Structure 1
Amino acid sequence: MSTPATPSSWVEGAAGSGFDVDHLPYGVFARSGERPRVAVRIGDQVLDLSVVAAADMVDTHELFDQPTLNPFMAAGPAVWDSTRAWVTGLLTDQTERDLVEPALAPLDSVTMLLPFTVGDYVDFYASEHHASNVGRMFRPDAEPLLPNWKHLPVGYHGRSGTVVVSGTDVVRPCGQRVSTGSTDGGAPQPTYGPSQRLDIEAELGFVVGVPSAMGERVATSDFARHTFGVVGLNDWSARDIQAWEYVPLGPFLGKSFATSISAWVTPLAALDAAWTELPGQDDPEVLDYLRVDGPAGLDIEVEVVLDGEVVARPPYRTMYWSPAQMLAHTTVNGASVRTGDLWGSGTVSGPERDQRGSLLELSWGGKEPFTVAGRERTFLEDGDEVTLRYTAPGTGGGRISLGEVTGRILPAR
């Protein structure tokens, strides 16, 4: 699914960077006293699309003079493709500099906002390595994967109202946590207080552009027609709250307090060189509606950075379930998707210890501490800052850098 290499940009510092014209992610920015509007990132510059589209008399200019990407995402693949071609031309043709340069601003001079209005939010559990690790920790005497895991992408419905943009602080959540039981051997009893096992989950998020109708199903082959792009995603998790509440209906308060996403949305076209084969789904074979033709996985590298130190490098290419299968499963019962709907991949983890995308796995449930800055660590402490970084092969032959996701832990209130 590769495309011919694109020329480099004339914007200073963009050529050969993770934000050259083979990337061109979209976001929403604001400056003091000005209304939010849509931008493209090129190098370390922000291109105000509302200004340049109006000056160039582009038919769709009103889509960019908006406080959210939703109208542009809803316009569909033809508009996405034509916009990408137009912006690429502006940023590679020297004769366009006089038009474009007044609409450029340094990234550090603007405030990046939540890039789209989130509709529904669903989080999956698509890594076999992550699911197996969790199973071994919590069900040591049973099979690590439950019987349904290789037949369908397991997921839960999250809370869209607490999806926040990268850079937003995260307050340590409070809730019920289970005790170890009474001294006379009675049943475990809950206590209330701040989570003591606060965690991260390094994920990718996928954003719906074109909606579907209720009662219709989105086939795996229609993934690109409905999906606008990809964001970095951190599904913050309170493991002690989650452990007490999740039986029998699954995660709730242990997940709903915050989910962070990157300020930049990487369009699917920028990932044309990143598609790769899935690890294999022939034992057992998946049902027909989940079958995919050709490469359906993504070769994206993730870094988990805790207080400035890389503690894990999870590879997304090892994921068992593809994004196309997750979307197909979401709609197989006739449920519709809307512009701005977001679904997460679930924790990205590989087969090696340094490829685990959660602190739960890195510390093996808190029993095997890992070292950060010479100090043993397990779960998150107040003041910790976590950054997720992502790179992928670019169509220009190098690598593109997807939007980072950063959050800092504040004490419970």
Structure 2
Amino acid sequence: METPLHDQLEAAARDSRPTLIVGAGIAGTTLAQLLRGAGQHPVLIERSAGRHPGYMLALMPMTDAAFSDLGVTEAYHSRSVPISRYRVRSRTGTILRTDPIDEILSQYGDYRGISRGDLLDILTTDHAPVTTGTTVSALRDEPDADSAATVTLRQGEQETEASFAVVIIADGIGSTTRRLLDTPTTDVDTGWGGWVVWAPADDQMDLGEELWGTDFLLATYPVKDAVGVFLGGNRDDTAAGPEAFVARVRRQVPSPGPRMNAALEAILADPDPYFWPLTDVRAARWTTGRTVLLGDAAAGFLPTAGIGAGMAMESAWVLARLLRHHESNDGGPPLPALLTSFEARQRPRVEAAQDNSRQLARLMFRRSRIWAVVRDLVARRVSVATALGPIRKLLADLPSVTPPSTNSPTTTNSPTAER
């Protein structure tokens, strides 16, 4: 709900710990709504003036706790579809294998397909103030426990200065706010990119399907009433445009199967398909005094393991639990120590998932006929359960939250749930 910045700042001033969340994407919105559910009034700002129509997401079970705390699990189920099978096709279009992915992941919780737009709608079903067209133009932060972070908020030519007890930077993989902190980052540029469009729903809406060509990837994932499509390749090749690239794919694979045919038609039918350069980013640190990075601003994922959005929601849930406990317990550690504790417990999990995505990218994003033959042989013999081994380890050890003690704020022990 679009809300004037002044109204948000006025509401936040009544909190004992005024909070700013920069970025109203999945991580920022999840955190804002979890804090609001606890009676707080975080200021949520977003640089975009309108919502991007979105793309497809496959959410793994690490999101279930956030949906539960928000009270939107039923809405999530009604606006998504269960993904129970995963199929991979070879460079010639033949089916290499179809795995029952629900049997692999159901022991941990739900694995469902949803559009990004539907997910944001679900997260904002309750009172969800946001001020769009707003950025951070200056940020001064000190680690002293008695200080506050001073932020300059810009709307067009107008600037407003405000102080916050904590600032959460969640404005995406290309975060402009992160740059104000001079936080070191590293990135992986695969050299690939591709178009994302929607195809009509079909009669296999529980199936995720991918076709790995010699120099392209065609992937489809179901959501409610539609199939999300990604067609990508080396950016030197995709520069020719979607029509030429689709023709290239069809020359290589004349019979890719009915869904893949529909996917290629959807690419051609879209007058302005969204192009996604396949890069990621990793921040060397998440916290600076009273400021913390979250979601893609901390670690932006390649889509290869389908886990980036899930890890963003998980991190938002962990941070919300810590901040909510801090709000209700005056004798806890100082906020900078609490944020450091959050990084110490969550960053290793996020980076382990990101490492898995990077490893899969090295297998998938290549231009080589010989490598494609080898990859087909490997894919025929190696199940998705094996490929997702590192992710399954994360799911088997989902985080619960015990806030750090005052005496040892950065120590992460085997936690028990704080309910």
Using the size of structure 2 for normalisation, the TM-score is 0.22
Using the size of structure 1 for normalisation, the TM-score is 0.23
Q: Which has the larger helix fraction?
A: 2
